[in-house]
Amino acid sequence: MSAGKDTKGTVINIQHFCYNDGPGLRTVVFVKGCSLKCRWCGNPESISPVPQLAYEKRDCMGCDKCGLCLRSKFGKDYLERDDEGVVSLKEGAREFFDNESIKCCPAGALSVYGEEKTVAQVISEVDKDIPYYRGNGGGITVSGGEPLLQPEFTAELLKAAHAHGYSTAIETASNVPWENMAMVLPFVDTVLHDIKIFDTDRHRYFTGVDNKRILYNLKRAYKEFTNKTFIARTPIIHKVNDDDENIKATLDFILPHPNVVEYELLPYHKLGFGKYRALGQECPSDEFEAPSKERLEKLREVISEAFAYRDKINYLRGGNENECEGGQRAYKEA
Amino acid sequence: MSVKVDNELIKKLRDEVVGRELKIDFQRTDILAEVYKEYEGYPQIIIRARFLERLLKEKKIYIDDYAFVGNLAGEFGAFYLYPEWKNDWIKSEDRFPIPEEKKQQVNELFDYWEKRSVPYRSFEVFEELYGEDYHKYSETGFLTSVQSPSGVSTLNYRRAIGEGLESLIAEAEKNLSELELSAENQEKFYFYKAVIIELKAVIEYAHRYSRLVEELAAKETDPDRKNELLTIAEVTKHVPGKGARSFREALQAHLFLHTTAQLEQVGCGYASGYLGQVFEPYYQKDKAEGKITEEEATYLLKHHFLKLNDISYYYGRDYDIMNSGDTAQTINIGGLTPDGRDATGDVDSFILDAQLDLRLPQPPLALVYHEKLKPEFVQKAVDLVKTGIGMPQFMNSDVLIERSLDAYGRYGADLKQARRTCVCGCVSTAIEGKTAYIMGPSVNIAKAIELALYNGVDPTTGIQVGPQTGDAENFKDYEEFYEAFKVQLDNGIKAARRYEKVNNFLFSEFLEVPYRSSLIEGSLERGKSIWKGGSLYTATATTYNGGVDAANALVAIRELVYNNKTVSIAELKKALDADFEGYEILQRQLINVPKHGNAIPEVEEVVSRVYTDAFDAFQKEGNNFVGQYGKPDAYSKSMHNYFGRLTGALPTGKKKGAALTDGSVSAQPGTDISGPTALVSSAALSVDSVAYNSTHLNVKVNPVTLKSEKGSAALISLINGFVKQGGNHIQFNCVDAETLKDAKLHPDKHRDLVVRVAGFSAYFTKLHEGIQDELIARTEHELAV
């Protein structure tokens, strides 16, 4: 077992007091690396699997007051003072930074996204939240990035979490080899999974990959892990995936599976855009926006009616182990 | 006796209270001068009684649109002066200038009291007894000097409202008649006399209202109003002399009893215990008889609360900075019955409803929290938190009970009594109706850091405050530094405890409070005022501030000076002297050292060590003035601001004059960067909240967090987690748009501000400017809903 707890993963951060990422109060572990590249992505630091240098010029104290980084080993080669008297990065800085030199920045203008951590290290941080899980079914959620791209780490972490008595959840886009999923799911109680766009071509256009593997994985997971709870989610963006057809196709896909208990729409936001600047990357265009409040409400209504209808049919049929047709008909009749 | 619910009237009265301009009412000082002349040579307790009697007889009374009568001063929005309690401010006063024609009289009166008052005499007596000048502690901001006029204690309203004052008078008269005249009984004799004079005067005071209202009713042509006036006349004829018969009478009785205590002495902390539960049987009876509805009861409570908001006092600017004019007329809700069941009644729920509507500073609500509370009641409390008024505060019932057993079990308190422990004041706790408080000064623990660094000298004033603990530059290691800190702290706490006793010695010499004493259990039986140990239990209110600042400074010194050797003590002192001008890097490094509030064991054990040592130092000075076991309190009120102004730059990164950390286990602003669960755990685990008489955590929450159902559930989980870990007092400040705006301008001050939207959370200051603006706009919008 101790070998398991030494398994390492690349973690962006651990966030406490979360309540929208699974049942009860949750501690969310964000891991690094994603196999999608969504055009609207709000978490650019989660895409690359390796640690990345971040520089927030706004926070630099200025070379006259500080200048500590310029005197570091790394700074001598890769940092310089610019015309405004603050630090700027030279060629190669983002490839060759070293952690120790970055730590000297007292203002936090220079920092690193991502750090290698063992399961034991992460779980000891999660343990601090024990008093807050009791009575509400709370626990740990591994999110990302894509937790299934580090399957050994995620599986060991969730195994350890179960051993400590916490409920477990993952947030996944499911674009991974089936083996990865099969390795992790036995230790997951709640699977929060995205279905970003149902149409394959559109999916490819907006996320860089098609969704065939995603849908295959999900369908198989629904069928093979009947005792798990699945929650489907769509980051909802105006004119990308907020059309009736997309929502209905997604409902069609999930409703036959009674272990998919919820379908959530998460309105798009731009809160992560500052991070692009820190990473030296270009911000995604401004073309994306959340649907109007009315539109969102309308879609949520369609979803809740469809689920209610499915549950009713299911109930009348005495409940079905794995599939139910009621759901498929739900919105058609509604 | 039906009540006509008029929400327009509530709105109007609320606007008046919120918009009122304070002004001085001189009648109390006029009578004070008169009575002290007239009764010169009488025992002071009798003079005090005659004074209250005269005041109640002659004070200007008036009738307005309220369902209840009785105000503290003679005019709406006015406050009386209390020169006998605190007189060191009037001459330099500019906020409330004394009109020319009053100047001479007021100055004479303040001069008279200067020689006879506690603040003046306390310095003299302190020096006489202990051979040192207390000014060095007060002028450097190590300790406070002012005696704090305060009402911290809860009166036995259950009895006074239920049986009426006539019952208390009868008891006093009986005890007096059985008293054998002897030297030993002399004081008792005067005590009973004083109590009888005062309680009779209170009944007569109510009758003055009754007569006035009858006169008005006779002239009134509007039948509704006439009816209302006749109801008031009927009520005031009956209470508080006789036991209340209805919900309305109980509320009116409370207002009379409560304001009278504040005619004797006004200040912060006239809490009313589990007042809703005192009112509960009257409500249930009226309801059963079909005389009142929920809506009517809530409506009457609103009238009652609005009147509490007009109670004001003023003791000069310094005192105002320390207390922000707070009257802390706390009402406790929830809690347990003596036999351990959930004590929450319907009226507790109406109290929440009334504040949900009024959203006024008074009365603060303290929810004594335990697992037997009904979920819907807790939810309603959370709804109130969402309004952003910071109420209710959540108090851990288990801790309160254990604490009272620890403090008062040795004097006979049993579990049944301990289950009626309540907040009395704003943070401190005591057994309802049975505990009196005697005041002590406040201690600025962070000052001991400065003194350890500067060999006992206060760096701002140059005054040698503490012993010479050596040149800090020569300390070999952290432990040596800590030892110097501890010596300085011990010395300050010793002086504080001594000053506390001097204060109480002088209170009992000059300023007896027979009325208040008679309403706290024990005094009538023992024939003694609370200053002399009359009440069953006597707590000591010597409060600690700046504990977290001291601990954070110690950790920073340990890490940067002794462990990492980033900076020497000499260099650090230069930076502090310069208030970090030119030492910005060091300031940032000091701020970056891990701080309290992030659940880091190596940090929290320092906080814990500071509080434990401060506790032990307190106990070294023995029991309080009346001979009972005391416990220190750890809370700040606005004292962290007062002390902060008198404290230089600190190794925590705090600038000279900036406020210290609020509460006692809250985080230094901007340094709890690990989320609310880490803060709450740190707070719960870093101080022994049973040993202490109070500890206090403030948590900032973005209103967005609380908006959803899941957000409410999360907040409840947070409270449960705090309580399970033995936390004492947790309170939530919703962060409003103003704060967000400030955070945008001064990100350094708000590094811990987490904003949450749809499952995504971020540190506000790390967000892009445009997004910050968006969130500001959004928050404003959501608060307005």
Longest dimension (CA), chain B: 86
Q: Are residues A143 and A286 in the same domain?
A: yes
Total domain count, chain A:
2
User: Nearest CA to CA, how far is B771 from chain A (Å)?
Assistant: 6
The pLDDT score that the predictor gives to residue B567 is 96
Hey, are the CB atoms on B713 and A56 less than 8 Å from each other? no
Share of chain A above pLDDT 70, in %: 93
A131 to chain B: nearest residue by CA? B721
Q: Are residues A182 and A263 in the same domain?
A: yes
Smallest CA–CA distance from A129 into chain B, residue: B677
Indicate if A29 and A56 belong to the same structural domain.
no
Interchain pair A16, B760: CB under 8 A: no
Q: Which residues of A touch B713 (CB under 8 A)?
A: 19, 24-25, 136
Of A17, A68, A134, the CB nearest to B676: A17
Q: Both A210 and A138 in a single domain?
A: yes
**Which value, in Å, is the radius of gyration of the alpha carbons in chain A?**
22
B771 CB neighbours in chain A (<8 A) are 270-271, 273-274
Contact at CB, A135 and B717, closer than 8 angstroms: yes
Contact A16 B678 (CB under 8 A): yes
CB contact under 8 A, A106 and B720: no
Number of A–B residue contacts, CB under 8 Å: 97
Instruction: Answer yes or no: is A330 within a domain.
Output: no
Q: Name the average pLDDT for chain A.
A: 90
ipTM of the complex: 0.88
Examine residue B466 and say whether the peptide bond preceding it is cis (omega within 30 degrees of 0): no
Query: Which of B694, B649, B700 is closest to B679 using CA atoms?
Result: B700
Above 50 in pLDDT, residue A332? no
A78 and A34 assigned to the same domain = no
- Could you give the C-alpha distances from B228 to B3, B52, B209, B295, B354, in angstroms and in order? 8, 30, 14, 18, 21
**Beta-carbon separation of B585 and A16 below 8 A:** no
Q: What CATH code is carried by the domain that includes residue A136?
A: 3.20.20.70
* pLDDT for B113: 84
Q: Which domain does A64 fall in, by range?
A: 52-113
Amino acid (1-letter code) at residue B197: I
Among A113, A131, A151, identify where a domain stops.
A113
Domain endpoint, select from A67, A91, A113: A113
Asked if B677 is an interface residue toward chain A (Cβ–Cβ < 8 A), one would say yes
pLDDT < 50 regions, chain B? 756-761, 779-785
Residue A201 in any domain: the answer is yes
Task: Evaluate whether residue A79 is within a structural domain.
Answer: yes
Note whether A16 contacts B584, CB cutoff 8 Å: no
The answer as to whether A89 is a domain residue is yes
Q: In chain A, what residues touch B674 (CB-CB under 8 Å)?
A: 16
Pair A141, A251 in one domain: yes
Looking at beta carbons, which residues of chain B come within 8 Å of A267? Answer: 758
For residues A199 and A96, membership in a common domain is answered with no
pLDDT value of position B707: 72
> Binning pLDDT at 50, 70 and 90, where does residue A268 land?
confident
Residues of chain A positioned with their CB less than 8 A from the CB of B675: 15-17
If contacts are CB pairs under 8 Å, which of residues 32-91 in chain A contact chain B? 42, 56, 61, 65-66, 68
How many CA atoms within 13 Å lie on the side-chain side of A215?
Answer: 16
Is there a domain that residue A209 lies in? yes
What pLDDT shows up at residue B755?
57
Q: Is B581 on the interface with A (CB under 8 A)?
A: no
Residues A44 and A63 in one domain: no
Using the Cβ of A195 and the Cβ atoms of chain B, whether some distance falls under 8 Å is answered with no
Of the candidates A19, A27, A270, the beta carbon closest to that of B771 is on A270
Contact A225, A183 (CB under 8 A): no
For residue A69, what is the nearest residue in chain B, using CA coordinates?
B585
Chain A contact for B760 (CB, 8 A cutoff): yes
Domain end position, chosen among A60, A88, A113: A113
Residues 258-317 of A with CB under 8 A from B: 266-267, 269-274, 277
- Sequence-ordered list of residues with C-beta below 8 angstroms from that of B301, at least 6 positions apart, any chain: B251, B347, B350, B351, B354
pTM summary value: 0.91
Tens digit of each residue's pLDDT (9 = 90 or more) over B356-373: 999 888 898 999 999 999
Same domain, A97 and A62: yes
Assess if residue A185 is contained within a domain: yes
Which residues, in sequence order, are CB contacts of A279 under 8 Å at separation 6+?
A: A44, A45, A52, A53, A54, A113
Nearest chain A Cα distance for residue B676, angstroms = 7
A72 to each of A78, A82, A102, B567, how far by Cα in Å? 10, 17, 9, 18
Task: Give the pLDDT score at A38.
Answer: 93
CATH number of the domain to which A81 belongs: 3.30.70.20
Q: Which stretch of DSSP H or E encloses residue B353? A: helix B346-358
A331, part of any domain: no
User: For residue A320, is pLDDT > 90?
Assistant: no
Domain match, A124 and A44 both: yes
Residue A323 located in a structural domain: no
Q: B677 and A42 in contact by Cβ < 8 A?
A: no
CA distance B662 to B654: 13
The reported pLDDT for the residue numbered B200 is 98
The answer to whether residue A135 neighbours chain B at the CB level (below 8 Å) is yes
Is the domain of A71 the same as that of A211? no
The DSSP secondary structure of B248-304, one letter per residue, reads HHHHHHHHHHHHHHHHH---B----SSHHHHHHHHHHHHHHTT---HHHHHHHHHHH
> Helices (H), strands (E): how many in chain A?
14, 12
Classified as helix, coil or strand, A281 is: coil
A128 and A266 part of one domain: yes
- pLDDT given for residue B323 in this prediction: 61
Task: Provide the pLDDT for residue B91.
Answer: 77
